[in-house]
Structure 1
Amino acid sequence: MNAEETVDQYWQAYRRHDLDGVLAHLADDVVVEFPTSQEPSRGKDSIRTVWAKLFSTIIPDISPEVVTTVAQGDTVACEFVETGTLVIPAEAAAAGIEPGGRPYTMSMVTFFHLNGDGLIDRLRSYWDTGNFAGQLGISIGVISAMQAEAHATA
């Protein structure tokens, strides 16, 4: 299977919220970088814990629609539109943030790098965090704090 086919299968599993299917395409030492995290996530086990929460409670209806894929050797770039409903937990009320679902639509780009075994060993995503926060009606600091909390409990 070539790099583009691997990434396509990754997206298919992601759309189905098939966590085992997603993880099957990741190297054990995968590094995942998002603009809302100060530090990258490292390792498949860390990703499993965080993305299990993502699919089940944080954004249970998350859905990417790939618009463009460009592959060159062991690198694949995908432009996609992600839709979903970010669920603000009840505990957020203590910080003055109204809990509940916040729908969003966001254009994103992710770069994938595959190792010699054909597994994704680096995934780096980019999106307009200001636009995302604006759609949700919260500050980007809240999004970063939620992401840090998901990692801390992982």
Structure 2
Amino acid sequence: MTRILLTTAAIAISASSAYAQQTDVTAAALAELAQYQAAEAAVAQRLETFDTLDFEVFSGRQWDRLHESHAEDIKVHWPDGRITEGLDVHIADLEAFFVYAPDTRIETHPIRIGQGEWTGVVGVIEGTFSAPMPIGDGQFIEPTGKPYKLTMATIGHWNDEGVMDEEFLFWDNLTFMRQIGLAQ
């Protein structure tokens, strides 16, 4: 009888240990899943903010809302190679599009990707060269009335406050100049 009790106790202890190990494995897997889901939710939120940025804030020239997606000390890498710093400088650069093409807009992001603190979107920026383009020293290029439609990409790095602290902009400036009639 004692032998049966000891055997039963040994089986119970062994089962309890196996159950505890399984519980630890399950808890670790659930923690990893929760971490993955939180990261995916953060990327989804950043991409949603990106859509709002381009479709509403940029296209609608709502510069007072740019802080919703950009840090005050945003660093922007432009397609022509220059790098600017600061939200006010970025707003001035964005507003420049609308001086000679008041109907400038972005209405679609056919590609939206992200991982961790990085996101990328491909968009289509379009408008019409319908107003004089300032070129400095009080000089202007007269409008051609020609439309432009460019595929562009934006890569953004997001900080812990949920806004971009660095942005990389890509489009083909030669194609842009050709479309508006300023290059061959």
Q: Into which bin does the TM-score normalised by the smaller protein fall?
A: 0.7 to 0.9
2:65 counterpart residue number: 21
Whichever structure has more strand as a proportion of its residues is 1
The one-letter code sitting in structure 2 at the alignment partner of 1:85 is: T
The one-letter code sitting in structure 1 at the alignment partner of 2:84 is: S
2:156 counterpart residue number: 112
Instruction: Quote the offset at 1:131 in angstroms.
Output: 1.3
2:9 counterpart residue number: none
Instruction: Quote the offset at 1:53 in angstroms.
Output: 3.7
The whole-number CA distance in structure 2 between the counterparts of 1:80 and 1:88 is: 25
Instruction: Quote the offset at 1:62 in angstroms.
Output: 0.9
Alignment of 1:70-81 (within 5 A): 70-81=113-124
Whichever structure has more helix as a proportion of its residues is 2
Larger radius of gyration: 2
2:82 counterpart residue number: 39
Alignment of 1:1-150 (within 5 A): 2-11=45-54, 12-36=56-80, 38-55=81-98, 57-64=99-106, 65-86=108-129, 87-89=131-133, 98-100=141-143, 101-139=145-183
Cα gap change, 1:41/1:139 in structure 2, threshold over 3 Å: closer, same or farther? Answer: farther
The answer (yes or no) to whether the contact 1:23–1:48 under 8 Å persists in 2 is no
- Runs (5+) with no aligned partner, structure 1: 141-154
- Runs (5+) with no aligned partner, structure 2: 1-41
2:3 counterpart residue number: none
> What is the aligned-residue RMSD (CA, Å)?
2.6
2:32 counterpart residue number: none
Instruction: Quote the offset at 1:81 in angstroms.
Output: 0.9
Report which structure shows greater RCO (CA 8 Å, sep ≥6).
Answer: 1
Percent pairwise identity: 24
Instruction: Quote the offset at 1:10 in angstroms.
Output: 1.5
The answer (yes or no) to whether the contact 2:51–2:109 under 8 Å persists in 1 is no
The whole-number CA distance in structure 1 between the counterparts of 2:119 and 2:135 is: 39
The answer (yes or no) to whether the contact 1:6–1:118 under 8 Å persists in 2 is no
| Partner SS for 1:61 | coil
The one-letter code sitting in structure 1 at the alignment partner of 2:78 is: F
TM-score, normalised with respect to structure 2: 0.63
The whole-number CA distance in structure 1 between the counterparts of 2:159 and 2:91 is: 19
After superposition, the C-alpha distances for 1:38-64 in whole angstroms (9 at most, x for unaligned) are 421110121123333433x23311111
Count the aligned residue pairs. 136
The whole-number CA distance in structure 2 between the counterparts of 1:67 and 1:44 is: 27
